[in-house]
Amino acid sequence: MIHVALIGGSGYTGSELLRLLLGHPDVKVTAVTSERFSGTPVSDTFLQFRNTGLTFESLNLQDLTARADLFFLCLPHKTSQKIVADLHKAGKKVIDLSADYRLNSSKIYESWYKTPHLFSALLRKAVYGLPEINRDMIKKAFIIANPGCYPTSAILGLAPVMGRDYVDTDSIIVDSKSGTSGAGRNPAQPFMFCEVNESVRAYGISVHRHTPEIEQELSTLSKNKVRIIFTPHLIPMDRGILSTIYVRLKERMKLSEIQEHFREYYKKEPFVRVLKNGDYPLTKAVKGTNFCDISVFLDNRSGKGYSLIVVSAIDNLIKGASGSAVQNMNIMYGLEETAGLMTSSPTP
């Protein structure tokens, strides 16, 4: 039994993580913290945890380190920095769902997050926890920087062709559509029902903080500097991210060949489903699951120009956050990688 503590359990990511951990055969949740709800039963906030006996507590690191071996952090960006460092110093393993340890470079971190990174030495120890590309490093990691939701959908959609000669890595476009849970549980006017419902909007064009994270991992995969254009959109639904990814090819390719390559690349992956030729991913088909559905298309109309189109779909709170965190734990502890994660999606 792995004794785990969940730091920051009152948001959507925290509650989903708690749900998955409570259903995991090899895990015992020993603590769930929340500053805002400290002292109240977790089930007052989330009815589904009614019979768990869990109560939110205030964060007391000294006390907690005695009670858990693995710590999941669902805290806002910037506040994770020091807590990760303290836990690491105390010899604990950490899976951090914030962005604080995702970027290798403290300089790039500072330029996007507008705050210095005070533990840049630790950045080099942290492993970017996307199992499909970093599984071996995850096995030995002490600090996992759990990927962002958009980056997960983008990187999984692109990984198979990174490093391929026929790909123009300088002009990749990622156009993503996300459900509203990505914005979190705190009240804010733009995410009120009547503002989101019956509307679609783009936001954060060329300034969204998931951009450097995507570029960093794609650059590593392709062994040269990748620059992307990333446009997130807000969609009137609870969950799901659909990323439509446009990749310019340097030479004419056959669709079947690229599809075959995607299938080969992911053939051992338990959570990536490459769809049949012509089938389109639906966010609903991955809702509530740790799957990433991918389909590959080719625009063969123009003589030159962009032409590979990859569509990927994930549940932003599962494969894009809490499910991925559990998958990382499974790998770190040598468990079956799918343990606690094989829920299938309801219809509808």
The residues, ordered by sequence, that sit 6+ positions from 337 with a Cβ below 8 Å of its Cβ are 131, 270, 327, 330, 331
Judged on CB neighbours under 10 Å (0-12, 13-18, 19+), 138 is: buried
Least Cβ distance, residue 47 to its own copies (angstroms) = 5
C-beta of residue 201 within 8 angstroms of C-beta of residue 190: no
Question: Of 88 and 287, which CB lies nearer to its own copies in the complex structure?
Answer: 287
Q: What does the alpha-carbon distance between residue 183 and residue 320 come to, in Å, rounded to a whole number?
A: 13
Q: What does the alpha-carbon distance between residue 333 and residue 324 come to, in Å, rounded to a whole number?
A: 14
DSSP letters for 243-280: EEEEEEBSS---HHHHHHHHHHHTTT-TTEEEPPTT--
Least Cβ distance, residue 103 to its own copies (angstroms) = 15
The residues, ordered by sequence, that sit 6+ positions from 328 with a Cβ below 8 Å of its Cβ are 95, 129, 131, 138, 144, 146
Least Cβ distance, residue 115 to its own copies (angstroms) = 20
Least Cβ distance, residue 40 to its own copies (angstroms) = 13
Residue 311's alpha-carbon distances to 4, 100, 134, 156, 278, in angstroms, are 35, 28, 22, 10, 11
Question: Of 62 and 302, which CB lies nearer to its own copies in the complex structure?
Answer: 302
Query: Which of the residues 74, 149, 194, 292 is marked catalytic?
Result: 149
Question: Of 105 and 171, which CB lies nearer to its own copies in the complex structure?
Answer: 171
Specify whether 149 is catalytic: yes
Sign for the pseudo-dihedral over CA of 206, 296, 343, 346: positive
Least Cβ distance, residue 240 to its own copies (angstroms) = 6
Question: Of 155 and 272, which CB lies nearer to its own copies in the complex structure?
Answer: 272
Residue with token string 């210095």: 116
Residue with token string 């040598």: 334
Least Cβ distance, residue 65 to its own copies (angstroms) = 28
Gyration radius from the chain CA atoms: 20
Question: Of 171 and 220, which CB lies nearer to its own copies in the complex structure?
Answer: 171
Question: Of 115 and 199, which CB lies nearer to its own copies in the complex structure?
Answer: 199
Catalytic residues: 149
